[in-house]
Structure 1
């Protein structure tokens, strides 16, 4: 019997985080512990242990409760490989080295357990919107896996004034500062209920990754401040 299934053979790599394909992340657990979005495991081989990661302290627990930002995470350890995905969204890898990146919470799939995370408010948000907008910051050394609803665009913030919808801007690097901008002309043109009348403004040196969607990845009351320069690998 002839078959073309061989094209889907498991990807071989020495890296702890590898893209099996654009929708599926493969993580080698041997010698590694990771944190991942609860419910994202689709398969594993070997001996893997899954446990609730908790909030990592009272301060972060309170921030999650008040802001609605941050994912429910599970800690995965053991041997073998685990495969992670979320609703067939695109997966992208960022490797940070003592740096910080900022991620829209629902767009965070997994990261090395040694990377520290916190919840931060976008600069200028509280004065324009009740409660403000919040995102998840990650700092340290290791891999971070990011989700996007469709193929994103990577924008160089230093090259020109950069603006994006708050739910479409899914992650940005260290050296990038954020603010909220109200475009009254656009508001008059589109209507008061349009989200495009309020945009996130990005300045500084670094990049911002923007997905081609405001839907499916439900951001709730999210989006926060700047993050670290990484080696961005697309899916």
Structure 2
């Protein structure tokens, strides 16, 4: 017989205090950061914390003029917050599934809307897909992350990884594309005939094509991006 007492609920859902990795999956949809110094996270992603932690919005010139310029072009989706101090920090984003990667002098490119957090040791650069900016609401930007350290990304439901091989390109819907290996540069196909769009959303008039060798991560969900900056 099921036990529905409050004590049983707490036992099943309480935090695991034995975990001490910098990034831990507290649940598949909540990231625990065992903070000892600094972490960069998506603005608005904090759901709880213990200890002495201070939160700051990314300052205008914090990462230099070039990144400030790119941020101005890409809108609210690139907003980061810096958490500093010591304690346990819990991050989440609209109930999306969290995946952690340990980069070892590797590179991964993440859709800007799907980046949850990364260690300060990681190098990053915002890249705006200008060709597609006028075709999709708010355009499409991504963040290239490289170096050594942990990165946490999010996806709606279970992600699927597709392997890209020479001579075998992979085509994806931009709204369902979460991340890809840093050595790949997607091209955009806009030659979809009008007949294929009948009864479908206009977002499917654009496709991303990945050629070469690497991987692409997609989600079973077409994300809709806002047309510009929003408050959070």
Q: Same fold (TM over 0.5)?
A: yes
- The equivalent of 1:168 in structure 2 is 176
Measure the CA separation in 2 of the matches of 1:98 and 1:70. Answer: 26
Structure 1's unaligned 5+ residue stretches are 222-235
Structure 2's unaligned 5+ residue stretches are none
Is contact 1:43-1:84 (8 Å) kept?
A: yes
2:59 equivalent to 1:54 = yes
Give the 3 Å change call, closer, same or farther, for CA 42–16 of structure 1 in structure 2. same
- The equivalent of 1:21 in structure 2 is 27
Is contact 2:188-2:208 (8 Å) kept?
A: yes
- The equivalent of 1:208 in structure 2 is 216
Measure the CA separation in 2 of the matches of 1:80 and 1:197. Answer: 46
In the TM superposition, what is the alpha-carbon distance from 1:156 to its structure 2 partner?
Answer: 1.1
Measure the CA separation in 2 of the matches of 1:163 and 1:156. Answer: 11
2:95 equivalent to 1:88 = yes
Q: Secondary structure at the match of 2:165?
A: helix
Q: Which has the higher helix share?
A: 2
Larger Rg: 2
Give the 3 Å change call, closer, same or farther, for CA 70–193 of structure 1 in structure 2. closer
In the TM superposition, what is the alpha-carbon distance from 1:200 to its structure 2 partner?
Answer: 0.2
Measure the CA separation in 1 of the matches of 2:43 and 2:73. Answer: 20
- The equivalent of 1:181 in structure 2 is 189
In the TM superposition, what is the alpha-carbon distance from 1:189 to its structure 2 partner?
Answer: 2.4
Q: How does 1:22-41 map to 2 (within 5 A)?
A: 22-30=28-36, 32-41=37-46
Give the 3 Å change call, closer, same or farther, for CA 8–188 of structure 1 in structure 2. same
- Per-residue CA shift, 1:17-37, capped at 9, x if unaligned? 00011110000012x411011
2:86 equivalent to 1:79 = yes
- TM-score of the superposed pair, with normalisation by structure 1: 0.81
Measure the CA separation in 2 of the matches of 1:184 and 1:71. Answer: 30
Aligned Cα root-mean-square deviation (Å)? 2.7
Q: What is the aligned length?
A: 217
- TM-score of the superposed pair, with normalisation by structure 2: 0.82
Give the 3 Å change call, closer, same or farther, for CA 220–119 of structure 1 in structure 2. farther
